Amino acid sequence: MSVEADWRAGIDAVDAVLIDEYQSGFPVEPNPFERVAREIVATLSEGSSDGAVDDAPIDGDVTSLGSLDGDAVLERVRTLREQGVFRRFGAVLNPPVIGSSTLAAVQAPEDRFEEVAEVINGYRQVNHNYRRDHEWNQWFVVTAGSRERRDAILAEIEERTGCTVLNLPMLTDYYIDLEFPVVNDDRFARESVESTTVSATRISEEARGNLTPLEAALLIEIQDGFPLTATPYADIADAIDADLDETLAAVDRLLADGCIKRIGCVVNHVVTGFRNNCMVVWNVPDDELDARGESVGSLPYVTLCYHRPRRPEQEWEYNLFTMIHGREAEAVDAKIDELAAEYLPFQHERLYSTETLKQTGARYDELVADAEDDA
């Protein structure tokens, strides 16, 4: 039986708390798993985990939680990663803040589709590429150390493929987060969440991060995840030849500056059942954009909401992007219908992903190197 089919089989109450409540907020301190163990014991002893474990089988009596310690929690995280429930453990980094990032698209002729994809995917700065059911049929993300380098890559792609590139950098972040409960029977992502805090955050295309040498070394070291040890921050500090207290302070700064979005267990949404998603683009009147973006971004079922530029010269009139993730395609479509009827009564298109052409993380050693080259 596949992991996707039976991932719930061995989940108990402790695992459920780890999965749903530690996708962010992982402690930044010398012995973080010991604190997590204490918090889990307190949560389950009080009989409350915000609904995360209502349907999860409890392995043994709650009184046995007294034996739960940091080593036991660490071993559970290792097991969940090995099973594929977690993609990785560590920090979720934020490319638009560290470097200069954009979403781009081309209209690849079907008889040259694979050839065009090969050219695009050959760039190390391209970390995602998807086929979507639209005339703009290849959508990819380019993240470089500077806007100049990013745009040079787009120009090279145009020249090498003969395809005009649609360049759509993020201008405003209303809500972006792929953190949501999965130990439940929700039809769509975050159905059980009651509210979301949003704000209109402007994104600069000139971002370079302004990293100190310690911060740059730290980002490079943690880009693929934290070491799964009892003392991850101490091991990171040793790897970059830094003092532990200075390393912890740097992590706190990077969190505060937005270079690190969150620290915790990164859930594999496909394995845990959220296999369907759709990117919807909307033509919102410019004078209503922020109000509509904040209103829609606050809806629990909207996992991404952001402003990108119109490109009327390329017949692209859309300026608001939303994403919805669901267990079933019908649930996703129903929420898009709700958006169109109640919140965004404007022209829109639904761009379904039909094939993953490339999916990797942005390489931050290369971002830092690009930034230094362009400085």
- Domain regions of the chain by residue span: 8-45+63-83, 97-199+270-359
Mean pLDDT of 366-373: 54
* pLDDT score recorded for residue 365: 63
DSSP E strands, the chain: 86-93, 100-106, 126-132, 138-144, 166-168, 172-176, 201-202, 260-267, 276-282, 304-307, 320-326, 348-359
Q: What is the pLDDT of residues 245-300, one digit of tens each?
A: 999 999 999 999 888 989 999 888 777 777 788 999 999 999 999 999 999 998 88
Q: Is the pLDDT of residue 205 over 70?
A: no
- Mean pLDDT of all residues belonging to the chain: 85
Q: Which CATH class is domain 97-199+270-359?
A: alpha beta
Three-state helix/strand/coil letters over 71-100? HHHHHHHHHHHHCCCEEEEEEEECHHHHCE
CA distance 19 to 77: 9
With contact defined as beta carbons under 8 Å apart, do 82 and 354 qualify?
no
Mean pLDDT of 220-225: 90
Q: What is the pLDDT of residues 156-186, one digit of tens each?
A: 999 999 999 999 999 998 876 666 777 777 6
The full DSSP string for 241-274 is T--HHHHHHHHHHHHHHTSEEEEEEEE-TTTTT-
Q: Is the pLDDT of residue 369 over 80?
A: no
The model carries a pTM of 0.78
Cα distances (Å, whole numbers) of residue 200 to 117, 171, 174, 289, 333: 34, 10, 5, 10, 26
